[in-house]
Structure 1
Amino acid sequence: MGVFTFTMGEFTTTVAPARLFQAFCIDNHNFFPKVVPQFVKSVEVVHGDPTSAGCIKQFNFPEGYPFKYVKDRVEEIDSSKYYVKYTSFEGDVLRDTLECTVFEITFEPSGTGSHYKNIAHFHTKEDNHVMTEENIAGGKENIAKMFKAVEEYLIANPQVYA
């Protein structure tokens, strides 16, 4: 198995890290289908509590999306540091080449807002399979679009997660 690490997104925003963390990590099962239905049709909490390690969520994608679903397991979560580490371990997003993908997301205070960073570790099933920037370009683009949509919604609705 090979491991390939990429920065999937890095953005600075005027939105406070606590609000972004709530939207992206804690309440995404309610928030995403309402705010970014073009990316997430529904989210089911399969196991556990969304605020705790061990929680498993299934993200279902809308019609026309290149994939049907992915299951994620929270490995680490620290609400005081706005940090989450989760593993995508099941679903057609892994295709035939990936064992899993581990994401580490941080929301750090920055000026009057925050800095978002998403690092992904792609674990391939075989050592001879190589992940490249070309392999992940679509994912990076979708993360950027999704971040922008969430940011715009939170700016337009300052009472949400205030």
Structure 2
Amino acid sequence: MGVSTHTMADYTSSVAPARLFQGYCIDTHNFLPEAMPSFIKSVDLVQGRPFKYAKNRVDEIDAGKFYCNYTTIEGGVVGDNIEKAVYETKFEPTSDGCPYTMVVHFHSKGEFVVSEEDVAAAKPNIKNMFNAAEEYLNANPQLYA
């Protein structure tokens, strides 16, 4: 088994890190369907592409540092070639906005290596989700304030 690590997101938002963290990491099951109703219906994917479902396990949440670590253990990218994917998400408070990073550690089966093409193909979806979340929070300034 090999592990390949990729930075899947590295953005800066004008939304406060506490609000982004609350929506993305703490209240995900309520927030994401509200922010992205055309893509997420409760915890079920409406669109179903490229994955029909994902089962995640939360490994660590540090609300003081706006950090969340979780592992996809079933569905999603997990399958014939990937045993699990470990996600590290971090929101940082700065005077210039809120940097957000997502680093993913893909634990592959056998000699499989996650290709740069696969990583590049996933990044626009992650960016679109982040943009939708940011727009929703900007349109609803009372949410998680």
What interval of TM-score do these two structures reach, taking the shorter chain for normalisation?
over 0.9
The match for 2:24 is: 24
Residue 112 of structure 1 and its aligned partner are, at CA, apart by 5.0
Percentage identity across paired residues of the two chains: 54
Q: Which amino acid aligns with 2:137?
A: L
- 1:65-93 CA-to-partner distances (Å, cap 9, x unmatched) read 22110011011110010000000000153
The match for 1:136 is: 119
Change (3 A) 1:131 1:93: closer
The match for 2:85 is: 101
Change (3 A) 1:92 1:10: closer
Partners in 2 of 1:94 and 1:38 — Cα distance? 24
- State how many pairs are aligned: 145
Q: Residues 69 and 93 of structure 1 are in contact (CA less than 8 Å); yes or no, is this contact kept in structure 2?
A: no
Residue 41 of structure 1 and its aligned partner are, at CA, apart by 2.2
Q: Residues 39 and 146 of structure 1 are in contact (CA less than 8 Å); yes or no, is this contact kept in structure 2?
A: no
Unaligned 5+ residue runs, structure 1? Answer: 44-59
Q: Residues 12 and 110 of structure 1 are in contact (CA less than 8 Å); yes or no, is this contact kept in structure 2?
A: no
Unaligned 5+ residue runs, structure 2? Answer: none
More off after superposition, 67-76 vs 128-137: 128-137
User: Is 1:15 the counterpart of 2:20 in the alignment?
Assistant: no
Which of 54, 65, 80 aligns to 2:64? It is: 80
Instruction: Give the TM-score normalised by the residue count of structure 1.
Output: 0.85
Q: How does 1:108-123 map to 2 (within 5 A)?
A: 108-123=92-107
Q: Residues 16 and 112 of structure 1 are in contact (CA less than 8 Å); yes or no, is this contact kept in structure 2?
A: no
Partners in 2 of 1:139 and 1:38 — Cα distance? 18
User: Is 1:160 the counterpart of 2:143 in the alignment?
Assistant: yes
Tell me the C-alpha RMSD between the 2 structures.
1.3
Q: Which amino acid aligns with 1:102?
A: V
Residue 40 of structure 1 and its aligned partner are, at CA, apart by 2.0
Q: Which amino acid aligns with 1:107?
A: F
Compare relative contact order (CA 8 Å, sep 6+) and give the higher one, 1 or 2.
Answer: 2
